[in-house]
Amino acid sequence: MAASTDTAPAGTQAVSRAFDILECFLERREMGVSAIAERCELSPSTTHRLVRALVARGYLEQDPRSERYRLGRSALVIGQAGRKAFGVDSALPILRRFGRETGESVNLGLLDHADVVVAIRVESVHPLRFDQPVGSRIPVHCSSMGKALLAFDAPNGPLVLSDLDLSQSTPNSIGTIEELRIELDEVRQQGFSTDDEESILGVSCIGAPVLDGTGRAVAAIAVQAPTARMSAERRLELQSRIVEVANEAAAALVVDGAWVSAPLNRVTSK
């Protein structure tokens, strides 16, 4: 993960690098300076300076025995404030009820440029399952949540579809802009989206957008299960049910106009 400085305004390089360091801890609980420096493509001296600044503000803390770093209390406070601002805690009981009803994993995700970020995770009760922890990132084009978000103009996405890197996660992943455009049109017409082993072989998902009062997606939810448990009959049942659950979540979420950035342009082949 290189430091995100290419498009940053002048004078904000240190800020961008600090965020890159914090984002390392989305995937790992603890890290040493050398690992952080390698991950962010920074020199050890620059990394150490930024890490110490983050420790001073409470966003990181150091284990005195291992000398490795982890997220600090300030990060926890900011995270809790973010959950409240997005209304995530209000939607959690709805997703838990849906998880109990289906017995499957249920996610709520938000769009972040070319990825969906998992904001809520309800685990399946089955031994055979696939877990995506909160903070996981999934490419939008091979995710049922991603397709729902793109189809319904979620904020913080790409300005045009051609900005997306359509890398193949599996042989079933969408590979061209034209294929993606056709699928997004279908999602708009039917109100739900699918992922048929497009992100992970053996795992299928059905998603739906969580819409604000203008019909724009502010989040998306998905139910996820091994393909072996996704019979045609069960798919039909979940397709109608997930739209209802998404509508319930929409009523619970706090939708603030300040979230909204430039919408996705509905292009055909750009």
**Per-residue pLDDT tens for 136-179?**
889 999 999 999 999 998 888 887 888 898 998 999 999 999 99
Q: By the 8 A CB rule, do 119 and 219 touch?
A: yes
DSSP state at residue 266? -
The model's confidence at residue 89, banded by pLDDT at 50, 70 and 90, is confident
Q: How far is the C-alpha of 164 from the C-alpha of 157, rounded, in Å?
A: 10
Predicted local distance difference test score (pLDDT) of residue 158: 82
Domain match, 158 and 32 both: no
Q: How far is the C-alpha of 164 from the C-alpha of 251, rounded, in Å?
A: 31
In angstroms, how far is CA 174 from the centroid of its own chain? 18
Domain match, 66 and 109 both: no
Predicted local distance difference test score (pLDDT) of residue 135: 80
Which CATH number goes with the domain that contains 25? 1.10.10.10
The model's confidence at residue 237, banded by pLDDT at 50, 70 and 90, is very high
Domain match, 215 and 91 both: yes
Strands (E), 83-189: 105-112, 115-122, 137-139
What residues form DSSP beta bridges with 32?
A: none
Domain match, 109 and 240 both: yes
> How many domains in the chain?
2
Q: Is residue 151 part of a domain?
A: yes
Predicted local distance difference test score (pLDDT) of residue 11: 60
Of the candidates 98, 104, 96, the residue with the CA atom closest to the CA atom of residue 228:
104
Domain match, 157 and 116 both: yes
Domain match, 30 and 69 both: yes
**Per-residue pLDDT tens for 174-198?**
999 999 999 999 999 999 999 999 9
Which CATH number goes with the domain that contains 223? 3.30.450.40
Task: Give the residue with greater pLDDT, 235 vs 89.
Answer: 235
* Other CB atoms within 10 Å distance of the CB of residue 252: 16
Residue ranges making up the domain that contains 184: 86-259
